Amino acid sequence: MDWATLLPVVWFFIIGFAVMMYVLLDGFVLGLGILLPFADDEGQRDHMMNTAAPIWDGNETWLVLGGAGLMATFPKAYAVVLSALYLPILLMLIALIFRGVAFEFRFKAHSSRWLWGVAFSVGSVLTALAQGLILGALVEGMPLTGGKYVQGAFGWFSPFAVMTAVAVVFGYALLGATWLVLKTDGRLQRIAFDLTRPLMLAVIGFMLMVSAWLPFLDSQLMERWFTGAHMLWLSPVPILTAVNAVLLWRAVLKNREVQPFVLALCFFALGFIGLVVGMWPNIVPPSMSIWDAASPPSSQGFVLVGAAFLIPAVLAYTVYSYRVFRGKVLAGEGYH
Amino acid sequence: MLTAEFLSRLQFAWVMSFHILFPAFTIGTAAWLAFIEGVWLVKRTDLWRDLYFFWLKIFAVAFGMGVVSGIVMSFQFGTNWAGFSIAAGNVVGPLLNYEVLTAFFLEATFLGVMLFGWKKVSDRMHFFATCMVSLGTLLSSFWIMSANSWMQTPTGYAIRDGVFYPVDWWQVIFNPSFLVRLPHMVMAAFISTAMVVGGVSAVYLLKGRFVDRAGVMLKLALAFLAIVIPIQIVIGDMVGLKVREYQPAKLAAIEARWTTESSVPLALFAWPDEEAEMNRYAVEVPHLGSLVLTHSWDGEVKGLKDFPRDERPPVAIPFFSFRIMVGLGLLMLALALVGLWRWKRGTLFSGRGYLRAWVVMIPSGFVALLTGWWVAEVGRQPWVVQGLMRTSEAATKLPVGSVLASLITFVVVYIGIFGAGTWYLFKLFRDGPLPAPQRGQPATPVHGGRRRTPARPLSAPDDPMGD
């Protein structure tokens, strides 16, 4: 296998990994923002945000890594996807700015504290919606004419994309709720427990609906899943997902503290892997393959040298910072 | 006329002009912090430690703002400049990616030690972390300036089917203008920061607050400027020679020269009329143009009429921006030289008029930096990659409504968010270099001495925003 064949595969998985890390890690922080209105008072909102305060901005690293990595290694996919999804991307960026800045300024403000809380919450919901729209549009496929997307400013808008947008909001909320179960106790943990059950039902429901809808999309995303031998070696993914759903269900009913969060992460990861496997070997379904979109080996190889050093370092730092901040965060115990 | 391309250019100028200020300030404050901590390691006095912690907070906020505005930048090339990304992504993408990797590697490692590791590591290790952060900011500017310089003076590439392919990375990175434009930018960042350091000190001196700390900082700032501004002028001259060699149309626009002539004058002021291809109300110094631009009494300078109209940059923006940049540079130099003279006579701190001049000139470094950037970018037009790819080919064919919506959103949101951030910086300056914690005490008393402090730039300063 020559470099021009191999490197795009390597980079497809690096970028896929970066995006998955982002979805898992920032997912639960966005979930906190989505759940913020369910808190009793400002004190509980402080408490919720404090559980993620020390680690949230490291999570965004993965998104920027994915974005900049895409430009360097798959410039055609970067250009097509970002320009076709102009408005959802804009919505996501603005919402992320608000969410991030509100996170910091809320702890420094007094009379405008509630306002930054609202900005945090609205920013989180809009970020999740935008990411869901982007996901839906990508899964549904972007038909290209002469290498260009010609569906106009709202070409991405469809019932399927709307459903994935709502699904992502519920999914992140589930991650946020199980994170709170893990990191808090007392009244706030009770609220989180109560939220977890309906959220879990909703997320399992959405997962089934998306799976049922996929075969009817034009993107042929699911072709691989149902063709001959693939079915056999891919079968662990849906089986594991089903087992995961059952385990999650039981862990939540038994009021476990750690398992729901871990299982919710696994649930997300399995769903993500399922989609990535379905997309393969396309990076922009239905027709742009990773080899069509790839920059030449000299570009991909050049960046790979740096990535090989820096991605392990960022991973190590992520592990380290989560270790440092492990354990329960008590009410009134702030990092600010 | 409002075309999507024009709106995309406006939007890029807007988000870029905001973004550039924060990294520039970060580059300057990081080096300044390394210097302060180095002196503290030798002298071990409270004054230097207080100064370190004061500027550390400022640095943290500027760094945070730079990260937030930088996320937008990493998506702009795809959303609004798809043509550029497809054609030049193979070459520019890896350079920008290295910048991102460098910046985030930095955040993931030494920045945490620098901001929150005061009590956890030894003095020398902490100093090392500060130096590495400073080195990291310089490395970031290395990659960004390399990418931008390649767009000005592209080398080391091949073009197939309208797409650039890297042939020799060494030539791509060390393209002809890079090695003069990088130090020009870094010096500009240093000078901008030194103007803030000196100006803020002047405010304290005028108010009689932190007099000892402010005195030390003002002397350092003006000594630094007196040395570095002359160096910057020399580097700027070298940049100009590269522009004359590789981008003659840009030089003609900067000087508003319409006809190719030898022994050209230098226009101090003029109103360039692009339709009539001439200058109105010109105030000129004979021979000075040739002397400055070609280093000879009657050197030849190309005029805009030598280029087809569709290959000429706009004239007014480069012409006026350049004069603002140079004018401010000379004013800053004068401020530093007058300061040296007053220092020698022992009247540095007593003249209120002189101190007020410092206060007025706090933003002049940043203004010079921005106008200089505009000269470089507008002067390159109508090309996005000099001579090879037009900006109009680079722009995404977007609906006008989409770009108008995003432009308005970015304008409103940036004014709000970065307004709040800048206002918070002002508040930190107003509080001043208060006594910092001794070793063994909690680094930040508000945290209640908790061991587990958050490792994020914006949470380093714990002052309330106040409202």
- pLDDT score at A231: 64
Q: At A112, is the secondary structure helix, strand, or coil? A: coil
Of residues B320 and B283, the one with the higher pLDDT is: B320
Residue A322 lies in a domain: no
pLDDT tens readout for residues B140-171: 999 999 999 999 999 999 999 999 999 999 99
Residue A310 lies in a domain: no
Domain count for chain A: 1
Mutate one of A29, A50, A74, A83 to test the B interface: name it (highest B CB count within 10 A): A83
Residues 272-311 of A with CB under 8 A from B: 295-296, 298-299, 302-303, 306-307, 310
Inter-chain touch B455–A72, beta carbons under 8 Å = no
Nearest Cα neighbor of A185 from A332, A36, A323, A33 is A332
Mean of the pLDDT values across residues A69-96?
A: 91
Strand locations in A198-307 (E): 282-284, 288-289
Report the pLDDT value the prediction gives residue B462, as an integer from 0 to 100: 66
Q: Which residue of chain B comes nearest to A301, CA vs CA?
A: B94
User: pLDDT band at residue B452, thresholds of 50, 70 and 90?
Assistant: very low
- Quick check: is A325 in a domain? no
pLDDT of A123 > 90? The answer is: yes
Highest mean pLDDT among A44-48, A213-217, B312-316: B312-316
Give yes or no for residue A239 having a pLDDT over 90.
no
Using the Cβ of A71 and the Cβ atoms of chain B, whether some distance falls under 8 Å is answered with: yes
Give the pLDDT confidence score for residue B217 in this predicted structure: 93
Contact B79 A83 (CB under 8 A): yes
- Out of A75, A79, A83, closest to residue B398 by CB: A83
Q: Inspect the interface and report whether the beta carbons of B453 and A335 lie closer than 8 Å.
A: yes
pLDDT at B224 over 90: yes
- pLDDT for the residue numbered B149: 96
The answer to whether residue A59 scores a pLDDT higher than 90 is no
Separation of alpha carbons A129 and A135, rounded Å = 10
| ipTM confidence | 0.86
- Confidence (pLDDT) at A164: 92
For the segment A51-62, the average pLDDT, to the nearest whole number, is 75
Between residues 98 and 137 of chain A, which touch chain B (CB distance below 8 Å)? Answer: 98, 100-101, 104-105, 107-112
Whether the CB of A97 is below 8 Å from some CB of chain B: the reply is yes
- Cβ-nearest to B93 among A72, A81, A82: A72
Q: Contact B180/B238 with Cβ under 8 angstroms?
A: yes
> Which residues of chain A make contact with B64, given a CB cutoff of 8 A?
104
Task: Report the chain B residue with the minimal C-alpha distance to residue A86.
Answer: B79
Average pLDDT over residues A77-86: 90
Mean pLDDT comparison of A47-56, B193-202, B274-283, highest-scoring range: B193-202
Burial B148-163 (b: 16+ CB within 10 A, else e): bbbbbbbbbbeeeeeb
pLDDT of residue B383: 94
Answer yes or no: is pLDDT of B325 > 70: yes
Phi first, then psi: give them for residue B80, nearest 5 degrees.
Answer: -105, -15
Enclosing domain of residue A52: 8-298
Q: Report the share of chain B in percent with pLDDT over 70.
A: 93
Q: Which of A148-157, A292-301, B308-317, B345-354 has the lowest mean pLDDT?
A: A148-157
CB within 8 Å: B456 and A110 = no
Q: What is the pLDDT of residues B359-382, one digit of tens each?
A: 999 999 999 999 999 999 999 999
pLDDT of residue B107: 66
B223 exposure class (CB count in 10 Å sphere: 0-12, 13-18, 19+): middle
Rounded percentage of chain A residues whose pLDDT exceeds 70: 92
Q: Give residue B386's pLDDT.
A: 93
Question: Among A96-105, A310-319, A322-331, B291-300, whose mean pLDDT is lowest?
Answer: A322-331
Q: Is residue A334 part of a domain?
A: no
Give residue for tokens 């982002």. A22
Work out the mean pLDDT of chain A and round it to a whole number. Answer: 85
Q: How confident is the model at residue B444 (pLDDT cuts 50, 70, 90)?
A: very low
A219-223, B44-48, B118-122: least confident range? A219-223
Give pLDDT tens digits for B235-256. Answer: 999 999 999 999 999 999 998 8
Mean pLDDT in chain B?
A: 88
- Secondary structure element (H or E) that encloses residue A163, with its range: helix A159-183
In a domain, A311, yes or no: no
> Taking Cα atoms as reference points, which of A157, A24, A211, A116 lies closest to residue B424?
A116
Tell me how far the alpha carbon of residue A201 is from its chain's centroid: 19
Largest CA distance in chain A: 63
> Residues of B with CB below 8 A from A335's CB?
447, 450, 452-454, 459
B406 has pLDDT over 70: yes
Per-residue pLDDT reduced to its tens digit, B274-308: 888 888 888 888 888 888 888 888 888 888 899 99
Size of interface A-B (CB pairs under 8 A): 206
The pLDDT of residue B358 is: 94
Amino acid identity of B399?
P
